[in-house]
Structure 1
């Protein structure tokens, strides 16, 4: 890994087509800064994305990338990391992609604890398909297709991750550039599955969960000297608190051992010679 990489080295020559002011710009910049700050470079980075506004991110970043199908980005990322542990694998998604059609893959990726990072751009709406409510939309959030709101409680992705055995659970705000990049960097450095839910406002279709709303309501756990992200009970209280919006590393198991390490997935499968031990191939078959 190079020590001379700048975050701009991760920028492709493709201009983003996101709406002006979209939170995804800040989310992507933080991802690039985190990758550069951890010594990664485009030649050893693989970005996987699904469908939605977030799905375009692999086009806008200079690295290896795959734009997959709706809700299926995580199993692709898991497969890439299993096949070549030398790659830094980062999966990007949205709240619809990750917490609706992809929620089954999300839970199992969390519990497997592969050494990779999952960044979700949570704007609490389906932006690419023009403003339907998403799994994280408020119960009374009115849209053109739901004038009376979803009339059901929103999904709590942090609670899902904790219940599935998550070893790194964090939340950030795309507009808080330095803090967001710092939180994603900690996820990348974590030995295991680093999950970051990012408040990434949609300026076109969501006039409730706005930049001003998050600036006024966010509680930064990093500013609380008494908060300990390794304390499971404290993390549970924060995650289940429906009255506040939080930013920071909410829970981290510092004794986490990634699936790669615990199951001996340390070699690039392309480098395993013919006649490799049968037990090595059994590890590959676990994923297929």
Structure 2
């Protein structure tokens, strides 16, 4: 197999927005290969859920890991081989429920990995249970009276945890390709949330009429206060508020690998001095 796509036949539902995400990822990776990179320059990881099927459709080395453990898997690959370009995939349940503890600390540590969260605000693979981003009032078989607790705001959480690249887009192939280009030019942890309806369990909430582009509106992505203000505009609960898309925040900071490398070098020097 020389191309990015494998021969596996996608098993997503017809019309699933994961096809758009796959197309955007494929277009980005195809361009990377044409520019001289090789497949072995990349490493991918995916968790458990509808999102994780993307692992079967990309002909790249990686690990289809445990539920909620995408980030420690990605960090392990990066520490083992710092030259790899690491891309992780999670769903909103995988990232914000089982994987939340890893997400917060990955933002703190700032490993040079790129992390995509497919957020359809529902556990779709297990037939429609709510996730941490499900809106209040959502009815399913486990919540016949509707979800009572408010959803989390992942953008605010990432900003508060210290992520150096925080973005949100819609499940559109062109947007996916564009944001990956930006993310891979950033050295550090890049958090990318992709809003996507689930056609079966959490359909379109009128997203199209509510989106606007942060960069086209003059947003200052180097301002943490401006980023928090924009993150407040959509609380994952409202069905009418505007939804900003694009890069909320970006800053330069030492990566986890750089810090670990210096510590390892210092330990080696001390060991050599001790032996003398």
Q: 1:221 aligns with which of 214, 220, 242?
A: 214
- 1:18 equivalent to 2:12? Answer yes
Which deviates further from its counterpart, 239-248 or 20-29?
239-248
Matches of 2:10 and 2:54, distance apart in 1: 8
Structure 2: gaps of 5 or more residues: 235-240, 271-276
Matches of 1:122 and 1:103, distance apart in 2: 14
**Alpha-carbon offset, residue 197 of structure 1:** 0.2
Q: Is contact 1:35-1:41 (8 Å) kept?
A: no
Cα distance 1:13–1:279, how it changes in 2: closer, same or farther (>3 A)?
farther
Q: How many residues align?
A: 259
Structure 2 length normalisation: TM-score? Answer: 0.88
For 2:146, what is the secondary structure of its paired residue? coil
Residue in structure 2 matched with residue 206 of structure 1 by the alignment: 202
Matches of 1:114 and 1:189, distance apart in 2: 14
Q: How does 1:116-265 map to 2 (within 5 A)?
A: 116-175=113-172, 177-207=173-203, 210=204, 213-224=206-217, 226-242=218-234, 243-253=241-251, 255-264=252-261
Q: Is contact 2:72-2:102 (8 Å) kept?
A: yes
**Alpha-carbon offset, residue 262 of structure 1:** 3.6
For 1:141, what is the secondary structure of its paired residue? coil
Structure 1: gaps of 5 or more residues: 1-7, 266-275, 283-288
1:227-249 Cα shifts (integer Å, max 9, x gaps): 11111111010112233312101
Q: What value does the CA root-mean-square deviation take over the aligned residues?
A: 2.1
Q: Is contact 1:34-1:188 (8 Å) kept?
A: no
Matches of 1:206 and 1:125, distance apart in 2: 7
Q: 1:67 aligns with which of 55, 61, 64?
A: 64
Q: 2:25 aligns with which of 31, 41, 46?
A: 31
- The list of structure 1 runs, each at least 4 consecutive aligned residues, that deviate by more than 4 angstroms after superposition, is none
Structure 1 length normalisation: TM-score? Answer: 0.84
**Alpha-carbon offset, residue 190 of structure 1:** 0.7
**Alpha-carbon offset, residue 277 of structure 1:** 6.7
